[in-house]
Amino acid sequence: MPGPPPAVAAVRVAVRRALTEGALGDLSDPRPPGVGPGPDAPLLLVGCSGGADSLALAAGAAFVAPRLGWRAGAVVVDHGLQEGSAEVAATAAGRCRSLGLEPVVVAPVTVGQSSEGPEADARRARYAALATTAHRAGARAVLLGHTREDQAEQVLLGLARGSGARSLAGMPAERELDGAPGVLLARPLLGVPRATTRQACTELGLEPWEDPHNDDPRYARVRARRALADLGRDLGPGVVAGLARTADLLRDDADALDEAAATAHLELGEPPWPVDRLAPLPRAVRTRLWRRLALAAGSPGTDLTSAHLLAVDGLVTAWRGQGPLPLPGGIRAARTGDRVSVGPARS
């Protein structure tokens, strides 16, 4: 019997790898042929917009997940940002159901406005809806359809912003979903080209939704996508793969530095910390310590920049009696004598 078309096979292999390796692999339980998952099997939800990437992922999960002992459903987030968004969401939900996914939840959200811009605002609302839906459904995992091009775009945007190694490491293949303890967020298609997901939809007879925002230059990601296309023409077709590979390599480096910072935190104990014990540490470790303290105190990670962290580090390396430094979220860093602290500002 002939196998599936190549693009369909590539998506299924990527989903199978995600569900059998890493943290999700501990939950998978391959089923005998013809035996589906039981009612107590773990549930995963595919975040599906109806676009080619998430629709191909939904199809791949619908085929692979039951064979590995998973129940597979979907969540469709309706951002309400475009006319007819409810109809688009309903159509995407219908396609997920036609693939055999169950439950399929449509989650309408209200996108707030902040100084971070519409992309960040929509992303915040989307991830909050994913977390809420996963918690209510009792899901153990949420799968997202980010592809190799999405990873390359993330790295390119980080380079343009002058970001550090953690940002340039791109999107992790799996992490805990914020706001949903115990729920894993996984991206099985990070190594799969976007053209493959589109071809998989064609081979399966699935018609993806074409999001008009994907061609709107007001959005930074759209501009990054166009810049990548220009780089590919000028430097060769390996640019996308090279940037994605850079993310993988830098993620290993960033993980090692985070581990070093965690070890230093244990050795230093609770702040305030003496300068003579901080000064010998590499700056890359110290700045991670400041970030850890600021986040633990309630500073929003989206607003905490490298400039903030370097300013805090100056309390160790270039202190001339300067006063407390304000950080986002009502947090402050201060040096008193030979000790440095980071915590909530006193009212």
> Does 54 appear as a known binding residue?
yes
| 53 annotated as ligand-binding | yes
Block residue for tokens 């009612």: 39
Residue 38 assigned as binding residue: no
Dist CA 306 CA 312 (whole Å):
10
Query: Measured between alpha carbons, how far is residue 190 from residues 165, 243, 245 in Å?
Result: 18, 12, 11
CB distance 243 to 168 below 8 Å: no
* 211 annotated ligand-binding residue: no
The encoded tokens of residue 220 equal 């930074």
CA dihedral 63→68→69→75, nearest 10 degrees, is -50
> Which three-class secondary structure string do you get for 66-93?
HHHCCEEEEEEEECCCCCCHHHHHHHHH
100 torsion bin: left (phi>0), alpha (psi -120 to 50), beta (else): left
Q: Per the annotation, does 341 bind a ligand?
A: no
Name, in order, each residue with C-beta under 8 angstroms of 222's C-beta and a sequence gap of 6 or more: 213, 214, 215, 216
Measured CA angle at 314 (ends 313, 318), to 5 deg: 145
50 is in an annotated binding site: yes
Instruction: Mark the binding-site residues, compressed into ranges.
Output: 49-54
Instruction: Mark the binding-site residues for ATP, compressed into ranges.
Output: 49-54
